[in-house]
Structures are given as C-alpha cells and as structure tokens.
Copies of this chain bind each other. A is one copy, B any other.
C-alpha cells in the first residue's frame, strides 16, 4: 500500500507540472502561428513567467521529497516496470536541473534571447563578426553548463544529453565516421553519373488552397487524426503536441513548388503521429513523452523519405497528383517524376538538402560543435572551419556567412548538441523501416495500394505507446534486434540512388 500511495501522490504533483508544460506549448504554438507582431514582448514575458513557475515546482522541496521517497523504493526494487521507468526518468531530469543554479539559468536564458536577436541581424547583413561576441558568451555558458552538469569523457556529452538522453559523442562519432566514409565518395560517384535528372520538370503554378487540400488528403490517408489535431501555416514549419489528443502541425506554401509544403507536411505528420500515438493513460509522466529528438526525427524521416519518396508510394498517389494538378504532371512520365523528387545535388543550405547530402551537413555541424565545447577550436575560427569542411565533404565553396555558418538558428538559442538528432533520425528510420518490412510481409504492396494502417499501427505499438519506458538504445535493440548502425541507411541509399543514377 505504502508504495502505491507514494507514486500516486507523485503522479498527482506531476500532473500540475505537465499541464504547465502543455500551457507553455500552446503559448509557443500561438506565438508562431497567429500572434500579432506587437504581442511578442508580452508573450515572451508570459512564457518566461510560466517557465519559472514550472522550474520552481519541479525543484521544490515538496516535489523533491516525493521523488526521493520514490527513488528509495526504486532502489529497493519495490515498483513495477512502469513506475520504475517514471521514477528513473524524473530522477535523471531532477538531478540535471538541480545542478543548475537559478542565477545561471537566468543568465543563459538572457544570453540566448539576446543571441537570437543578434543572430537575425548578423544573418541579414551576412556578417559573422556581428554574431561573434554573443556567440562567444553563449559558448562560454554552455561550457560552464557542461561543467555544472558533469560528464565522463567529453563535456559535449553533457549538452547532447538534453536531446539524446544516455547517448555519448564517442558512439555517435564512430557511427557518423562510417557514414561519412560512405557518403563522400558516393556523392562524387553520383556527380559523375551518366543518368542525369531534371528537377525542374515538377515546377509549376500551384494555388495554396489546392496544395493544402492535397497535403491534408495524404496526411489523413497515412493516419493523422484531424479530430485530434490541425494543420496551419507558419514561417518555419514545425509540430507540437499539447496532449496525444491535441497535436498541431504547420507548413508553408511556395507557389511554384508544391513539394516544399508536401514533403514538409508528411515530415510533420510523422512527428504528429508520434505525438498522437503517445499514451493517453500515462499523460503527465515520462511514459507519455518522446524518447529523444533522434527517435522523434526517425518518425518524421521515415514517413517523409522511406515512405513518401519511394516508388511504391507514388504508384498510388501519382495518378491522383496528375488529376489534381494536370499542369505539369499529366505530361510527365512516372519515372522522370520519381527521379525529379529524388534529385541529388550538393547545396549550401541544410534545410533544402536531399537525402544523400543532408547527413553531411549534419556531420559537419556535429564535428564543429563538439570541438567547440571541448575547447579544441574557438568561436573566431568557425567561418574558416565551416567553409573548409563544406569544400571537403560537399565539394562546394561558401560565398558568404549567411549561406554558411550563419544559416542555422540553433546555436543562437543555445541549442548546442541538437544537430546529431537529425542524422540519428535518418539512421533510426532506415533501421526501423527494415524491421517493419521484416514484420509486415506485405508492407511494400500495401504502400503501393495506399494502405498505411499496418505500418502506422506497427509504429504505434513498437515505438509510440512506450514513451520513455526504454532508452533510445534499448528501443532500437528491442524493435530491430541489434544496436544502432549506419548500415541500413547506407544500404538504403546505395540501392535507391544506384537505380536513379544508373551507377
């Protein structure tokens, strides 16, 4: 009895904390989607106030006492697996947060808020020197954060932990090294290939309303529940979940390129399916939270790339696309279309990169930020190092800072340690998709028939519903039978692009 009561009291207190979290998500969503411009300053104050209340509640003596009591029971193995997982994850988070003094948290928050504003100006003027002083301050604070939190081998791991709990940069380095060793020569082979692709044939003139209609139709078809979510427009596409029954996606529309919004919506739908698939029963505990950014990204990448950029997918949807947008698609052959949406070309901007080059953008950033936090490079050197790596990995010259080291928002807001998640997502996606094909023998046929129910249910049961029950590593082993490897992603790229480019 004692033990049951303990966790139930803890869960009750947790509800308050998680509902504050949901409220913060709503405030953030509104600020990106609908808020009028003058609302920005008061909204920032409201968000900062609520964040403070949430932090206070989480590290309060009252909550700490409940958590410590539960932790003692956990160590004494008096709990079931679910209770253990809840306490384990809360304890991890509590340990981290209580190591950060309030004054430090506020200083960091202020530096990042300033950093973001300065970064916008620096990017506008394409001048890294404008960004330099504030980025130096942010990096110094992040190094301090790593010291405060503590780490085993690299201080970078202490930051990585926010996005990829339990992961180490040593493991990631090894996997990324394998991937890089494959990608760089593979990309050169594609560049020299005889099979050329014309990406311009799929450009056209597409009214926003018609684009949205097509996007929503496909999102519904792959299983997004619009009774428990919606799709809106924002400058930077994103997705968020207030609760499994209230999940919001956004996109943006480009008149001449419907695939910008289309693949964007499929990507966000992948995130949305994860959020809708989380446990309603366990809402308000880590068991209804995503495992890691990398696992979250695996869900968006799988639907966007492994599914929606595949031949099978378009066997079903290409005729629909042709009938809804006869101009230009009616006169394009299936094969030319398929090649056009899978065109590979080294480019400057990460968010516009294709499946093959994308991970090289990430590996570059991972290598740089790791060394930056470890202190083997300094902030002043970033443009030079960035440009050299772009030349080495992608073979292109960076013409200016805006198209180079200043392109991403992440560092300006203190999100150092975040980038690896994107490529981990690609790797997890390939490995999971391989396991799904093993478990669901008709999967390829189903996709070609526009049937996604089995895959969606498989993902829900294997991944979504568990929340943080497993670590990312534990989940991958549980679902695929082996630890994460770059091999499935490499095999996938090899097979797909050897066909497209006739290598």
Contact = CB atoms under 8 A, between A and B. Distances in A.
Interface residues of A, number: 36
A232 B49 CA distance: 27
A45 interface: yes
Contacts of A245: 36, 38-39, 41-42
Nearest to A45: B19
Given A23-B23, A39-B243, A243-B42, A16 B49 contact: yes
Contacts of A27: 23, 26
A242 B19 contact: no
A38 B242 contact: no
A232 B33 CA distance: 13
A46 interface: yes
A315 B36 CA distance: 32
In terms of DSSP, what is the predominant structure of the interface of chain A? helix
B36 A22 contact: no
Interface string A97-131: 00000000000000000000000000000000000
Interface string A227-269: 1111010000000001101100000000000000000000000
B22 A46 contact: yes
A47 to B, nearest CB: 9
A53 interface: yes
A15 B42 CA distance: 11
A282 interface: no
Interface of A: 15-16, 19-20, 22-23, 26-27, 30, 34-39, 41-43, 45-46, 49-50, 52-53, 225-230, 232, 242-243, 245-246, 283
Given A26-B27, A39-B228, 8 more contacts: A15-B45, A19-B46, A20-B49, A30-B30, A39-B245, A39-B246, A42-B243, A53-B53
